[in-house]
C-alpha cells in the first residue's frame, strides 16, 4: 500500500513496530483503503496550494494558508481537536510519552501546517505500536517569513526552532476508526532532503510572545486572523480590543502561569490561549472550565476557586470574545460562494 516514491520513508522507528499491511486487529474496521484515498487527496491538495517555493515567498504562504484555512480537503480530514508538536528525539518513545500541544482544526490548518511546503510525495502505513495509520509527507519549512507570520516566536526555544527549520517530513497520524487526522508532527529525521533547501536563521527571542510593530500594530499579525479572515470582515477591528480585555482578566486569574508556549507547568498535552487566535480555538473549553471551577490550578495542580468578582469578570470578557469570534466566523462563512 506504500507509494513507490521515496517519501521521508524509514524513520528511526524500530522496523518491527511498523507493519506495512492492514491492521491485524480483529476489532478494528479496516479503513485502510479510505485512509489511503484521503492521504492521496490531502497530499495532492498540499502540493497544489502549498508547493515548494522560496521560504521567503509571502504571496505563496498567503495562498497556502488561505486555502487550508478555508474549505480544504485537509480541514475536512482533521479530528475536532488535534495535537501538534515535534517528533520525540527519543525514537523509542511513544506518542503518549511525547509532549504535544492541543489545537482546534482551523488553527492547525491556517497557522501551523501552512508554514510548510509540500512536494506531494507521501506514504501511508499502519503503525501497530500506536494503533494508528501514519501519513508521511515530504516537506520543508518557510523559515524566512517575517516574525509576525509565525503564531508565536518559535525561536524562544533554539532546539525546537532548529527542528522546524530543518524539517523534511510531516507526519500525520490517523485514527483507523474515524479516518480522521488526530496528531501532526514535524521532524528533521525523515528520509531524503527537505523539498526546499534554506540556510538556517537564528533570531533572538526578547521574551515577548506578542509585541507592537513600528506602525503600532499588534504582532504576530497571523494571530489576529490577518490573511485568514477577509480584510473587510466587520468584526476584525473589535477582535483585538475584546481579546485584550479577556487577556487582562486571564492574567488576573493566573492562567498565564501555565498556559504559555514555553509550557512552564509542564503539561503533556499543552493548551495555549495567549493570542486572539489561540484563545479563539479554546474559548468554548475556557468558559466551561471557569464556570465549573476547574481552573485555575495551583502549583500543586489542585483546583483553586476564583474570587467571585474575578470569575464574573473573566466570564463576562470571555463571552464577549466568544460572541465576536462566532460572529466573525459566521460572516466569513456567509461570504463563501
Q: What are phi and psi of 75, to 5 degrees?
A: -60, -35
Q: CB-wise, 206 or 292, nearer to ligand HEC? A: 292
Q: How many binding residues for ligand HEC (CB under 6 A)?
A: 20
Q: How far apart are CA 302 and CA 34, in angstroms?
A: 44
Nearest to 296 by CA among 322, 258, 264, 260: 258
Q: Please identify which residue in 46, 295, 313, 324 interacts with ligand HEC, judged by CB under 6 A.
A: 295
Using CB under 6 A, which residues numbered 232 to 261 contact ligand HEC? Answer: 250, 253-255, 257-259
Confirm or reject binding of residue 297 to ligand HEC (CB under 6 A). yes
Confirm or reject binding of residue 48 to ligand HEC (CB under 6 A). no
8: left (phi over 0), alpha (psi -120 to 50) or beta: left
| Dihedral of alpha carbons 321, 324, 330, 335, sign | negative
Confirm or reject binding of residue 221 to ligand HEC (CB under 6 A). no
Shortest distance (Å) from residue 184 CB to ligand HEC: 19
Shortest distance (Å) from residue 176 CB to ligand HEC: 26
Those residues with Cβ within 8 angstroms of residue 107's Cβ, 6 or more apart along the chain or in another chain: 151, 277, 278, 280, 281
Confirm or reject binding of residue 296 to ligand HEC (CB under 6 A). yes
Nearest to 281 by CA among 137, 106, 143: 106
Shortest distance (Å) from residue 321 CB to ligand HEC: 12
Shortest distance (Å) from residue 82 CB to ligand HEC: 14
Note whether 197 and 142 are within 8 A (CB): no
Shortest distance (Å) from residue 29 CB to ligand HEC: 30
Q: Please identify which residue in 1, 289, 315, 327 interacts with ligand HEC, judged by CB under 6 A.
A: 289
Shortest distance (Å) from residue 103 CB to ligand HEC: 12
Give how far Cα 218 sits from Cα of 46, 106, 115, 210, 324, Å: 30, 21, 20, 7, 18
Confirm or reject binding of residue 265 to ligand HEC (CB under 6 A). yes
Q: Is the peptide bond before 296 cis (omega within 30 degrees of 0)?
A: yes
Q: How far apart are CA 225 and CA 84, in angstroms?
A: 20
Q: Please identify which residue in 150, 282, 324, 328 interacts with ligand HEC, judged by CB under 6 A.
A: 282
Q: How far apart are CA 103 and CA 112, in angstroms?
A: 10
Confirm or reject binding of residue 320 to ligand HEC (CB under 6 A). no
Using CB under 6 A, which residues numbered 51 to 80 contact ligand HEC? Answer: none
Confirm or reject binding of residue 177 to ligand HEC (CB under 6 A). no
**Contacts with ligand HEC, residue ranges (CB under 6 A):** 250, 253-255, 257-259, 265, 267, 271, 282, 285-286, 289-290, 294-297, 299
Amino acid at each position: 500500500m506504500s507509494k513507490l516514491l521515496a517519501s521521508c520513508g524509514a524513520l528511526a522507528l524500530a522496523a518491527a513496530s511498523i507493519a506495512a499491511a492492514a491492521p491485524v486487529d480483529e476489532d478494528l474496521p479496516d479503513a485502510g483503503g479510505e485512509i489511503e484515498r484521503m492521504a492521496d487527496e490531502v497530499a495532492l491538495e498540499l502540493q497544489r496550494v502549498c508547493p515548494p517555493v522560496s521560504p521567503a515567498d509571502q504571496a505563496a504562504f498567503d495562498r497556502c494558508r488561505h486555502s487550508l484555512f478555508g474549505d480544504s480537503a485537509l480541514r475536512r480530514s482533521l479530528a475536532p481537536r488535534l495535537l501538534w508538536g515535534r517528533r520525540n528525539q527519543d525514537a523509542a518513545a511513544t506518542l503518549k510519552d511525547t509532549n504535544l500541544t492541543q489545537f482546534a482544526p482551523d488553527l492547525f490548518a491556517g497557522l501551523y501546517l501552512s508554514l510548510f511546503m509540500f512536494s506531494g510525495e507521501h506514504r501511508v502505513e499502519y503503525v501497530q505500536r500506536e494503533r494508528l495509520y501514519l501519513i508521511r509527507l515530504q516537506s520543508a519549512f518557510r523559515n524566512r517569513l517575517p516574525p509576525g507570520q509565525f503564531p508565536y516566536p518559535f525561536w524562544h526555544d533554539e532546539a525546537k526552532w532548529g527542528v522546524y527549520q530543518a524539517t523534511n517530513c510531516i507526519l500525520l497520524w490517523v485514527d483507523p476508526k474515524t479516518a480522521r487526522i488526530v496528531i501532526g508532527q514535524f521532524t528533521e529525521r525523515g528520509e531524503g532532503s527537505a523539498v526546499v533547501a534554506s540556510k538556517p536563521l537564528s533570531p533572538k527571542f526578547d521574551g515577548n510572545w506578542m509585541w507592537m510593530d513600528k506602525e503600532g500594530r499588534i504582532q504576530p499579525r497571523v494571530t489576529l486572523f490577518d490573511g485568514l479572515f477577509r480584510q473587510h470582515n466587520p468584526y476584525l477591528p473589535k477582535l483585538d480590543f475584546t481579546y485584550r480585555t479577556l487577556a487582562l482578566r486571564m492574567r488576573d486569574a493566573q492562567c498565564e502561569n501555565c498556559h504559555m508556549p514555553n509550557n512552564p507547568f509542564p503539561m503533556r498535552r499543552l493548551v495555549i490561549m495567549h493570542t486572539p487566535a489561540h484563545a479563539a480555538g479554546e474559548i468554548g473549553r475556557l468558559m466551561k472550565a471557569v464556570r465549573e471551577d476547574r481552573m485555575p490550578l495551583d502549583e500543586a495542580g489542585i483546583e483553586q476557586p476564583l474570587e467571585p468578582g474575578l470569575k464574573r469578570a473573566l466570564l463576562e470578557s470571555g463571552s464577549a470574545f466568544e460572541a465576536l469570534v462566532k460572529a466573525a466566523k459566521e460572516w466569513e462563512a456567509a461570504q463563501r460562494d
